[in-house]
Structure 1
Amino acid sequence: MGIKIIATNKKAYHDYYIEDVFEAGIMLSGTEVKSLRLGKVNLKEAFCRIKDGEVFVNNMNISPYEQGGRENPSDPTRMRKLLLHKEEIAKL
């Protein structure tokens, strides 16, 4: 089946020199996963920040899932935790 890439930030490769690439998981709610599968995500303003030994992505806009109702998070650009190994976080 293979891995499907849902979103990439092409502008980052144009505006910045990318030295190293990391693969990370993201902590999401159920309706956010459904929105991602529909491709309703915007990474253009997203950035990562390290806080207390954990990495968080800010300003990643995941549009609310249309059938989500009250299950949708109130802020589509909320801070989301990235799941990385301690060694990978130390490299950052």
Structure 2
Amino acid sequence: MSETASIEKAARARKLRSRPPAPAPVTFPQRLSEGQAAQFLFGGDDASVHTLRYWRAAGRGPTYHKVGVRVLYNLTDLEAFVQAGRVEPRRA
């Protein structure tokens, strides 16, 4: 290897070492569509989608986000809704 090639190689190595670290990837909360939320909660059929719509109209059910005409459910909100309905049996 010639001296010029060695110098260029060393300069490239210094340049690579001096780069700032790559930023951490941005993560967004996972949001599910109405059908996906129904699948998560009920196993998903048309009746379960209608149940979610009924609950929204009645002011019940899991928290949701309205984006234009779309309705989205945060996965953590669905899990919290399920957990809130947890019943521990009492011993007699």
Give TM-score scaled by structure 2 length.
0.21
Give TM-score scaled by structure 1 length.
0.21
If you compute each CA radius of gyration, which structure gives the higher value, 1 or 2?
Answer: 2
More strand by share: 1
More helix by share: 2
Tell me which of the two structures has the higher relative contact order, counting C-alpha pairs closer than 8 angstroms and 6 or more residues apart. Answer: 1
